[in-house]
Amino acid sequence: MTDSLLFYAVAVPAVILLGLSKGGFAGLGALSLPVLAMIISPVRAAAILLPILIVQDVVSVWAFRRSWDGYVLAWMLPGAVIGIALAYLFAAHVDADAVLGLVGAISIVFGVYRLWLARRGGEVVAASSPGWVGTLAGVVSGFTSQIAHAGQPPFQMWVLPRRLTRDVLVGTTAIFFAATNWLKVPAYWALGQFTRDTLTVAALLMPVAIASTFAGVWLVRRVSPERFYTAIYVLMIAVGMKLVWDAVV
């Protein structure tokens, strides 16, 4: 299937979504795996996308290397390590659909709530919660990222209410998921998912991945901060609906 025109007709848009996500439109990337899984197995789709994600991370981290929040990363990354390890150890015992469905439902509720606050009271004021809550969010983000590259919603649930500036949010997101993706490599390798065919397909899609990431960086810097946050909340709802749909059908 991976040598057919149909595969690339679906894979190219999926990789473009990843690129736009890595460029700053966080949330779009969670749609890539479900799109690709329509024509190949989810496991193989995830293995193809991981090398692409790692290369895209280089572009996004470099573009926003001066804009990031150390507090967020210090609390969330240890949790991500735990979440990835748990997902690997319990892969055979955890119902991935149920986990992703729950994450999707929470994403929908959270996104609707934040949009409602913005509409009701104008600008949404920054909110904060203890650092240990961020670690728990990191655990969930690492877990769902290991299962299906769907770590964005749990990450955003703790980080978005902090109302970081646009560039700091994008930079922090880029660094967090760059580290998370590298942490997933040993587990994918141990599971035998990096075959020659998988890596060849990933290499063929790489130019599209890099170009779309640069496009995302260019676009996100031309969107006003308020419209940017509104777009992210709308994307969270869309991604949540997709995750719930995949879990129940």
Profile the chain (249 residues) by mean pLDDT over runs of 10 residues.
Answer: 78 87 72 76 82 89 90 96 88 68 74 75 60 93 83 85 86 93 88 84 91 86 72 77 79
- What pLDDT is attached to residue 130? 84
Query: Is the Cβ–Cβ distance between 51 and 199 less than 8 Å?
Result: yes
- What pLDDT is attached to residue 98? 72
- What pLDDT is attached to residue 225? 62
CA–CA dist 214, 209 (Å, integer): 9
The DSSP line for 217-228 is HHHHTTS-HHHH
Tokens of 160: 């978005």
- What pLDDT is attached to residue 243? 74
Phi/psi of residue 221, each to 5°? -80, 0
Query: Is the Cβ–Cβ distance between 163 and 118 less than 8 Å?
Result: no
- What pLDDT is attached to residue 138? 95
For 72-97, give the secondary structure using H, E and C: HHHHHHHHHHHHHHHHHHCCCCCCHH
- What pLDDT is attached to residue 5? 84
- What pLDDT is attached to residue 240? 78
89: CB partners within 8 A, 6+ apart: none
- What pLDDT is attached to residue 153? 80
3-state secondary structure of 65: coil
Tokens of 70: 């150390």
Domain residue spans of the chain: 5-248
Query: How many CB atoms are closer than 10 A to CB 18?
Result: 29
- What pLDDT is attached to residue 183? 92
CA–CA dist 17, 240 (Å, integer): 16
Question: How does DSSP classify residue 31?
Answer: G
